Each structure stands twice: as C-alpha cells, then as structure tokens.
Amino acid sequence: MVFVADPMYILGIETSCDETAAAVVQNGTDILSSMVSSQVEVHHRYGGVVPELASRKHIEAIVPVVTEAINDSGLEAKQIDAIAATRGPGLVGALLVGYSFAKAYAYTIGVPLIGVNHLEGHINSVFLEPGPPPFPFVALLASGGHTGIYHVTSHTAIELMGQTRDDAAGEAFDKVSKLLGLGYPGGSVIDKLSKEGNPTKIAFTRPYLNKSDFDFSFSGIKTAVSLYVGRHPSDYKNRVADIAAGFQEAVVEVLAYKVINAARKKGCEHIAVVGGVAANSGLRHQVRLQAERQGLEVHIPSIQLCGDNAAMIAAAGYHYLNAGIRGKLSDDVFSKSK
C-alpha cells in the first residue's frame, strides 16, 4: 500500500512593485491559479513607477484579485493551508498593502502566515516548471530593481555571490528606453527594437567591473548611451534600433559571462536565470550559447513566470513552511534586501 500525503495548498500574494498578484499553488510545484493585475498603463505616462499611485492601485485591486485566484483554483478559502506574501524587498507602501491583507486573511481563516523574500520567490520560480535544476546550482536574478548572482543549495539556503553596485539591469533598460523616447516598460521595447538593429554598428564598452568577481554596474553604460545621444542630437533617432541593439548586447554579454563564471567557480553544472529581465530574448540566447560551450545546463522560467507573480511567492512559501519558517502578525515589511 502506497501512502500519499495530503496536498498542501498555499495562497500567494505579491505586491512589491506595480503588479497586484495572487495565486494558489499545490505542494510548491503545481499552479492551480495565477492572477496578475498590471499597472503598466497607469505608470506609462510617467516613464516609470510612481510609488504613491502603485499603493493606491494595490488597495483597489487586492480583494478582487485574491478572490479571483481562490475561485479559479477550484478551492474554497477553508481549504487553504497557509498564506505566503511578499514581505520585501520592494516599495514599502506597495508591500504594506499585500502583507497587511495577508496578515488579516491568515488570522481570519486561522492558517499560518509566511513572509517571503521577493528575491527568493524569483529563484523558486524555476521549480514551477518541468525539469527544475538539482541542488546546488547558480542563479542569475535580473529585474527592474535587483541584479545578483546566487549560489543555491536548497530552497531556503541561498548565498549572494555578487550584485549590482548601482542600477539594476532592468532599471538600466527602463532608463535607456526613456532616454531614447521609447516609453515604459523599457525591457520589452528595447528587446523588440534590437532585433531590427545591428549590435556592432554602435558598440558600447562592456561593464564588467572586475571579470573575476560577480558584482555589476550598469550606470556607466546608461551614461554612454546618453553621451552618444548628446553627440548626435540631429540624427540619433535614425539609429535608435542600432543603439538599442548595441546597448542590449553589452548588457546581456556581461550578465551571461558572470553567471557562467560563477557556475564554474562553484563547480555547478546547472544555471537558473530568473526575474523580469530573464524574459529578454537576447539574454536567454546568450546564456544558453555560453552555457552550451561549457557543458552547463540552463533553466529559465516561461515568460509569464519571469515577471513579478504570486505563484513564485506561494512556491517559496511552501518550502519556508516545510523548513519551519513562519511569520508573525508583528512582522514588518522591508524595502531593501537583508
């Protein structure tokens, strides 16, 4: 007779920036529902996220989004075993909306509350896909607010190897997009436009900092693009596709080089690439190309799991719970990584 453990259902809530998201995940791997209410149209006119507006929109969306996630999962609220919500890092006002709601909901239905680190949520997103990496592996996390390389030895044991010293990769994409008049969000716009350009026509210096470590700096390449535009005020608009292609090529080459080098240093045969910038086609191609040369296997989530979502928070929450990690009603949110 085979013993089958009862499934565990985790409700995830994510409000770290400008997406109000909720999801129900079974046993940390199976997504029963995943809802995301985006605020892109709200912030587009400003060329970036306005924190106060983001918080207000989260307040409007949190109840309907959570309700829809539970309804679409086919479960009732009483079947939820725990609630996992992003505690940080992120925009404090936005985080407070989701985490305060999670506290109240968990208390009301009498289930554990789990405060999840947003970055660990992204890393756990690869376990929502078939064929996840075995431990240990090295992960590149690149998003609008964070860029870092991590050595991952378990779902809850994640060591930072290096990170950006200034702008995150996604932030650089947004700023360059705004500089070129392409709008927000910049990552998808530049990725699409770069396919029409020649990356060798306007070659930007690769911002490696130090090739032997795993830190990043993207403020310099952003400045380089600004200087190029300033030196060609009358005709740079005719070269926007080439500028976008040259910029993107420089960024993704550095990201790919460093995560491959980190895997070699740690003796890991598997690499994960996660976060919003993991949706970039140039990065996906470059990492796979360089990894193949080194005999390494690459794991990248599907596009819908690269950006901020609540399924990854629920997945991380499941593993937190199994490790005995629980939140308290007195816990506060945090804006920066601890």
Q: What are phi and psi of 115, to 5 degrees?
A: -90, 115
d(CA 85, CA 15): 8
Instruction: Assign 96 a pLDDT band (cuts: 50, 70, 90).
Output: very high
Tokens of 262: 């980190």
Give the range among 37-41, 125-129, 190-194, 331-335 with minimum mean pLDDT.
Answer: 37-41
Domain 9-123+308-322 adopts which CATH fold? Nucleotidyltransferase; domain 5 (3.30.420)
Count of C-beta atoms within a 10 Å radius of residue 142? 30
pLDDT, mean of residues 77-96: 97
Instruction: Assign 338 a pLDDT band (cuts: 50, 70, 90).
Output: low
Please give the model's pTM, rounded to 2 decimal places. Answer: 0.94
DSSP string, 125-165: GGGGSSSPPPSSEEEEEE-SS-EEEEEESSSS-EEEEEEBS
Q: Among 251, 306, 226, 270, which Cα is nearest to 135's?
A: 270
Segment 199-249, tens digit of pLDDT? 999 989 888 888 889 999 999 999 999 999 999 988 899 999 999 999 999
Mean pLDDT of the chain: 94
What CA–CA distances, in Å, run from 164 to 39, 140, 311?
Answer: 26, 12, 26
Question: Which architecture, in CATH terms, is 132-300?
Answer: 2-Layer Sandwich (3.30)
Whether pLDDT at 337 is above 80? no
Whether pLDDT at 3 is above 80? no
Confidence (pLDDT) at 210: 83
**Is-same-fold flag (9-123+308-322; 132-300)?**
yes
pLDDT, mean of residues 280-293: 97
With a pLDDT cut of 70, the percent of the chain lying above it is 98
Confidence (pLDDT) at 168: 94
Segment 30-80, tens digit of pLDDT? 999 999 998 888 887 877 889 899 999 999 999 999 999 999 999 999 999
Tokens of 104: 């109240």
Q: Is 117 exposed, middle or buried (0-12, 13-18, 19+ CB in 10 A)?
A: buried
What CA–CA distances, in Å, run from 102 to 10, 22, 98, 107, 166?
Answer: 12, 11, 6, 8, 32
- Give the list of residues 6+ apart from residue 140 with CB closer than 8 angstroms, or none: 148, 149, 255, 258, 259, 262, 271, 272, 273, 274, 275, 278, 287
Tokens of 249: 């090529």
Instruction: Assign 1 a pLDDT band (cuts: 50, 70, 90).
Output: very low
Domain residue ranges of the chain, discontinuous segments joined by +: 9-123+308-322, 132-300
Whether pLDDT at 196 is above 80? yes
Segment 319-334, tens digit of pLDDT? 999 999 999 999 999 9
Count of C-beta atoms within a 10 Å radius of residue 91? 23
